[in-house]
Chain A
Amino acid sequence: EPEVTQTPSHQVTQMGQEVILRCVPISNHLYFYWYRQILGQKVEFLVSFYNNEISEKSEIFDDQFSVERPDGSNFTLKIRSTKLEDSAMYFCASRDRGQRETQYFGPGTRLLVL
């Protein structure tokens, strides 16, 4: 069964460093999402991406964040200068073209900023 994959599973970085989180969505999906979950808190929407551009972003998704689909398979989330409060699980999700189509989530990347 097709699934969303994410790498790395864990990332430890120093405050101020740049990190890139990688996702491989399900191959025929066209809509891509990033969510995050701070430990003990709710899953929060960050950004949605379609047709090579951001379609919606939350207020969390400030200038420190960017997303890119560098090739036909990968979808990345970059944090330019990490802060302590960026420590969280980051989940990628994808769905097919129909508006009613279900989003499928990856296993997540646990980011720890020291």
Chain B
Amino acid sequence: DAKTTQPPSMDCAEGRAANLPCNHSTISGNEYVYWYRQIHSQGPQYIIHGLKNNETNEMASLIITEDRKSSTLILPHATLRDTAVYYCIVRVEKGGKLIFGQGTELSVKP
């Protein structure tokens, strides 16, 4: 699976957009970009995933660059409850296991 690189930590003001970057320069054509988050020691929570096109759901937006070497997760109006570790994972179709890195620890501050 492709390696991903994320900043170890970020701060965001409550109510502002949180933009979490991820580099995946070795991604190949059949690999999807997944985002999960983990609040305290709870189970990882699925947020969004994409292949080539930008995606949006009720939780977030995912922007993938045209060359697919990087992506950005956008939480449009961050709340205190969005404080968590956010993981960017590149997953091949076959197999299905997820390989977690260290993620980005997002702190949303009042």
Query: Which residues of A are at the interface with B, using a C-beta cutoff of 8 A?
Result: 4, 31, 33, 35, 37, 42-45, 48, 55-56, 89, 91, 93, 95, 99-100, 102-108, 110
Contacts and interface: CB of A to CB of B under 8 A. Distances in A.
Contacts of A99: 93-94, 96
B43 A106 contact: yes
B41 A44 contact: no
Contact of A103 (B38, B94, B96): B96
Interface residues of B, number: 22
A99 B92 CA distance: 9
B96 A33 contact: yes
Given A99-B93, A99-B94, A100-B93, A45 B99 contact: yes
B98 interface: yes
Contacts of B44: 43, 91, 105
B96 A107 contact: no
Contacts, number: 56
A113 B72 CA distance: 39
Grouping DSSP codes into helix (H, G, I), strand (E, B) and loop, the A interface class, with mixed when no group exceeds half, is strand
Contact of A105 (B32, B45, B96): B45
Given A42-B100, A43-B44, A44-B100, 10 more contacts: A35-B100, A42-B101, A48-B97, A95-B96, A99-B93, A99-B96, A100-B32, A102-B46, A103-B46, A103-B98
